[in-house]
Amino acid sequence: MDETTRLSCRCGKVHMAVRQAPMVVAECHCTSCRDASARMARLPDGQNVAEANGGTAYVLYRKDRMAITAGQEQLHTFVLGAGRTTRRVVATCCNTPMFLEFKGGHWLSIYRTLWPADTRPALALRTMTGDRPAGAPLDGDVPAGALATTGFFARLLGAWIAMGFKVPEIDLGGRVIELE
């Protein structure tokens, strides 16, 4: 099946297309994802990408199955600090968080908030739950913990093998924004 899903920023200037099924749909509770979510929410007309439990949900796609089809000039990156290599990408036309990219990664973690609420892919697992703030609730419907994390990394490795160990580049022309 070669199904294509079309996504866009809130104002419609930036468009992306993803092909086939995602590798996995995961919710991350690491400190970096929570910090980045808070920073993006503080942008003018910013969007909160955090779930009610504080985690950030991503739909992971192989880079070779994603294309930016319009508005690439609106996409800017930010990192959480000097020496950090994980970049978050925001559509600055309307400050919509678009995706996260790990340096050297063969996948993109696309913010699940890009999908309309009634069509969002279901969560498959949670990662980094040990980093969540004390008392942050997690329902028991989604696997979390060491076994879920092992499955997460197994899916990433399987996708990389299927890609022939390639790591496609997503060139955004070096456009960087500062987020406090």
**99: Cα within 13 Å, side-chain hemisphere:** 27
Using CA atoms, how far residue 66 sits from 16, 159, 179, in Å, is 7, 14, 26
* Tens-digit pLDDT profile for residues 75-130: 999 999 888 889 999 999 999 999 999 999 999 999 999 999 999 999 999 988 88
At residue 88, the pLDDT reads 96
DSSP summary character for residue 117: G
Class of domain 4-162: mainly beta
What is the rounded distance in angstroms from the CA atom of residue 22 to the CA atom of residue 139?
A: 23
Residue 137, pLDDT above cutoff 90: no
Q: Read off the pTM.
A: 0.92
pLDDT band at 2 (very low <50, low <70, confident <90, very high): low
* For residues 62-79, average pLDDT: 95
Residue 1, pLDDT above cutoff 60: no
Q: How many residues does the chain have?
A: 180
* Tens-digit pLDDT profile for residues 154-175: 989 999 999 999 999 998 888 8
Neighbours of 170 (CB within 10 A): 17
More confident residue, 1 or 121: 121
* For residues 128-142, average pLDDT: 83
What is the rounded distance in angstroms from the CA atom of residue 70 to the CA atom of residue 13?
A: 7
Beta carbons of 131 and 32 less than 8 angstroms apart:
no
Neighbours of 178 (CB within 10 A): 8
What is the rounded distance in angstroms from the CA atom of residue 66 to the CA atom of residue 11?
A: 20
* For residues 126-149, average pLDDT: 82
